[in-house]
Homo-oligomer: A and B are copies of this chain.
Amino acid sequence: MSISPPAFHDIDPPQRLLMGPGPANAHPRVLRAMSAQLLGQFDPEFTEYMNETMALYRYVFQTRNQWTFLIDGTARSAIEASLVSLLAPGDDAVIVNAGRFGHLLIEIAERCGATIHTVEGEWGTVVPYERIAEAVARIKPRVLATVFGDTSTTMAQPIAGLGELCKAHGTYLYVDATATLSGMAIPVDEWGADIVTAGLQKCLGGPAGVAPITISDRAAAYIFSRRHVERGLLTAETAAGAGQRIASNYFDLAMLMDYWSDKRLNHHTEGTTLLYGARECARLVAEETLERRIARHQQASDAMVSGLKAMGLRLFGDPAHKMTNVCAIYIPEGLDGERVRTRMRVQFGIEIGTAFGPLRGKVWRIGSMGYNCSQPNVLHVLGAFEAALRAEGVKLPSGAGVDAALHAYAKA
């Protein structure tokens, strides 16, 4: 062997509180669940875990959709699976674009060969329903795609009404809820959304690497019409559809639904460890209940906003539509935002977020998500942030941030 083996030490990450826009720290129960030994993917004990995971995510997504399961990849992979399974080359897609992750939807839909029509919004705002409705009525696209909770701007685009709008025009509604699932209400059936996807590493308190998805029967029927089963697996039960073949094998939702059905038609080898983790994330949601979990994120957000304002800082974006798990804070004039972030990380062991695109160097992003969404962590980050800013020469009222947050929690 011409290449010698390198020697590296054991995994031993520093103790770090992740209070940026995600990932957040994983719940210890999720880490423990992932240390369980593997099973074969068609073992009855494992397929039972798959079915339980489906049932749990039906609760998390508040849906009766049969097709509620996991994509084996990060949150972005589930976005691509959704769009590539719905969009064929030449199809029209209307995309709500008011942040980095709106851009991502455009980027992915373009690669599907779709004709893109955007409804643009300023970063830090949401797009009014009327403008979306006008575009959908005019274009009658195959897909309307929007982000619910774009961490780049901290805005949560309102979804109510979009489901009905889409049904009226033969359009499928895709919602990217990567950053908000279980932290804000995602009532999939009430919204009438056709596909909603998420990630574990935000409000669900797990690691990136597997992505929950839910698909309406209407969208599933359309996707099955594009079904194209692998050679050697074709049977009467899994007959090919008449529609244009989906341009990806890995992200072919028709094949994935067959795999997650009782047919168990072989596709990839399911990622056992992350399935265990995703199941535990959802069990934690079910035990806490969505009501309490959503309220916990709202309280933390209220306390964080109170604290940051009491420190004399200014928040970016429309407060009426702010996500409840992340804040964007203007970097005071003349201050080097990256020096503050480094100080937070090195001296306090806390990660806070930088920003993308037009907001780069203009705002920090501080989140409080999932397992990390708690009174102690909110108080801890505010206290550390005050000290870090003071160390960088910012004049601040001593203790005001923590006191205001304590006060907000006391009122809650």
Tell me whether A98 is interfacial, beta carbon within 8 Å. no
Contact partner of A16 (CB less than 8 A), chosen from B1, B18, B39, is: B39
Question: Nearest-CB distance from A12 to chain B (Å)?
Answer: 7
Instruction: Please measure, in the bound complex, the distance between the C-alpha atom of A25 and the C-alpha atom of B63, giving whole angstroms.
Output: 35
Determine the chain B residues whose CB is within 8 A of the CB of A117 once the complex forms: none
Determine the chain B residues whose CB is within 8 A of the CB of A287 once the complex forms: 5, 7
Closest Cβ neighbor of A189 among chain B residues = B2
- Complex interface bits, A216-231 against B, C-beta within 8 A gives 1, otherwise 0: 0000000000000011
Determine the chain B residues whose CB is within 8 A of the CB of A34 once the complex forms: 31, 34-35, 273
- Mark out the residues of chain A between 7 and 31 whose CB falls within 8 Å of any chain B CB in the assembled complex: 7-8, 10-16, 18, 20, 22-26, 31
Closest Cβ neighbor of A81 among chain B residues = B250
Determine the chain B residues whose CB is within 8 A of the CB of A230 once the complex forms: 103-104, 107
Which one of A43, A56, A245 has the highest number of Cβ atoms from chain B below 10 Å of its Cβ? A43
Please tell me which stretch of A138-146, A207-215, A312-320 contacts chain B, meaning at least 4 of its Cβ atoms lie within 8 angstroms of it. A207-215
Q: Is the CB of B25 within 8 A of A13?
A: no
Q: Is the CB of B272 within 8 A of A273?
A: no
Q: How large is the interface on A (under 10, 10 to 19, 20 to 34, 35 or more residues)?
A: 35 or more
Tell me whether A261 is interfacial, beta carbon within 8 Å. no
Please tell me which stretch of A67-75, A129-137, A165-173 contacts chain B, meaning at least 4 of its Cβ atoms lie within 8 angstroms of it. A67-75
Total identical chains: 2
Tell me whether A286 is interfacial, beta carbon within 8 Å. yes
Determine the chain B residues whose CB is within 8 A of the CB of A63 once the complex forms: 3
Q: Is the CB of A286 within 8 A of B7?
A: yes
Tell me whether A357 is interfacial, beta carbon within 8 Å. yes
Instruction: Please measure, in the bound complex, the distance between the C-alpha atom of A249 and the C-alpha atom of B248, giving whole angstroms.
Output: 11
New A-B contacts (13) at CB < 8 Å, excluding given A13-B45, A32-B35, A38-B207: A2-B62, A2-B189, A3-B63, A5-B290, A7-B287, A11-B276, A14-B39, A16-B37, A23-B269, A74-B271, A76-B269, A80-B248, A207-B272
7 closest A-B pairs (Cβ-Cβ)?
Answer: A209-B271, A5-B286, A207-B273, A232-B357, A208-B269, A74-B268, A35-B35
